[in-house]
Structure 1
Amino acid sequence: MIHPDIIKKQQVILWGLLAFTLAVIVIGMAMGYSSLSYNRLIPTLIGQGTFKEEFVLFQVRLPRLIITWLAGMALALSGAILQGVTRNDLAEPGVIGINSGAGVAIALFFLFYPIDAGSFAYLLPLVAFAGAILTAICIYFFSYSRSTGLQPVKVVLIGVGFSMALSGVMIVLISSAERAKVDFIAKWLAGNIWGADWPYIWAILPWLLILIPFALYKASRLNLLSLNEPVAIGVGLAVEKERFVLLLAAVALAAAAVSVTGGIAFIGLLAPHLAKALVGPRHQLSVPVAIVLGGGLLLVADTIGRNLADPDGIPAGIMVALIGAPYFLYLLWKRS
């Protein structure tokens, strides 16, 4: 049973993070290459703005902010699930190669499969999921041992190896592609929020509406999987079945996110760690906090990045990596 004081603390933190996220969204709506004054935000939102104000807000700013927020939540939840399933604090979809697998599938699809723009947005998450799940299966296969089960250290080492190999595949694809398509892949690799349009929001939203409640429902099983296998089996948990289902959910979340944001890493590492530091290791408490944190962190990274350099800004993936990479090295040093 969770102590009521801890639950109350979690609720206060959640409301604080939601307020912070809302503040970042308001700031993001006003800031940019075409500025929009704060006193014009509410009139524009209720349809009383000029044509330019409504175009900037509804066609440029809001879609980007919403897609960034959704993708950040998906990546954070994916990282929280992966860390629980693999019992490894370093597991994260960008670090262990799942994002790279999704990226290769998207690149192949974009380069060689002609399709109309209207269907492109809705097929991308499915294509990304196919590449990501194939990569995840390979990583799982090479990390699993019949005698000792899933080996957490092997997951990260093999995942990093797959990530490097798939990055090489991306370079080969780029070298044989035409200039316009190379630009797209380069932006994807940098973690640029490129799918900033309403169809991409409708494409990613169903994945989150299904998988976030599913992950919250499975939080108690994640607690058991975070322990060693004999303990989980001893309390009657079907370890392999639960691990496979949760791994599938983590891969789907990561694939849906990176299909519209590009190869963004470290959000799935930072958010779960910060959440556990705030409310403790129980997934019933830490997972909701990680989800809100992930959305807020990616929003902050993208808002800062797109306002540092005009007109295109610095990709959110690079901004996140500036914080996430040193933290990843710190965790490696701490575990050594």
Structure 2
Amino acid sequence: MSHGFFLWPVQASHHAKEVDLLIGGFGVMVWLLTLPVFILIAVFVFRYRTGRDANRDHASGSNVWLEVSWSIIPFLLTLGFFVWATALYFDLRRPPAGAMTINLVARQWMWKYQHGEGAREINDLHVPVNRPVKLVMISQDVIHSVFVPALRIKQDVLPGRYTTMWFTADRLGIYPLRCAEFCGTDHSVMGGRLIVMAPQDYAGWLARNRDGGESETLAAAGARLFRSVGCSGCHGAASTVHAPPLDGLYGGPVGLSDGRALIADDQYLHDSIMLPNKDVAAGYRPIMPTYANVLASEQVNALVAYLKDIGAGKPGTRQEDGNE
């Protein structure tokens, strides 16, 4: 991590370069449009000051092309920057299909990360260079906001609701990570580091962390929870309880008892665990108990990872469990 005072943070991603170019270009346009106005103000103040012998009887006249161009050109330039900024905004909302997913749980006053391979870390986030990374984030208490200046990205982290943010860091190094939303008395110390590593170094770090006790993947931890908290007793194939099937669920449409339809995404799975009576599947009774006061956010993330694993038709541990 670089130390010292810098007027401009380093650029650690292509998006950061695009944002800097956008802001710089917009700043140049504003200067080009406003500087002539201030120059003319100064000229007119000097030329027509009190006591100055100047002809103040100007004949009325107009130049249609000058007046139209003075309005149309700034409008078109501003519209161009709007389109450019909108494209960057939508790009941040469309993570690549193969992006590596890392879950983030924010709480006063720390960041807790869960890697899909099983590694966990607090405040520091290790990622490989030149690989898209998607953060799936939720808060345990109040609103937080992840801000990485070197990437020029910021996203609010909300209680009870998943938000996402993705990036591709293309420069090795260690960069500060901050909370950009006032979240309580120790908000100022809620920080961390984004550590961008070479792929082989990241693989070594991941192996060391897994050897340190986090050997099971996030989905495997979810499979274990699926059995231990009793989910398999109702949603298993051998269950006598009439509960919705989970195989092939993720990513597909779900008809609800009130006639609506939803896509079974991460938020739907989260709400089905924590708020089971919010969106009841059509044809089923609202008898599932809530796990809001039973499971921590990290455990819910593990369950969601497992449900995504079996719901997307991927090979998992579900078939190994006789009562599931």
Q: What TM-score bracket applies, with the shorter chain setting the length?
A: under 0.3
**In proportion to residue count, which structure has more strand?**
2
Q: Which has the larger radius of gyration?
A: 2
User: Does 1 or 2 have the higher relative contact order (CA < 8 Å, sep 6+)?
Assistant: 1
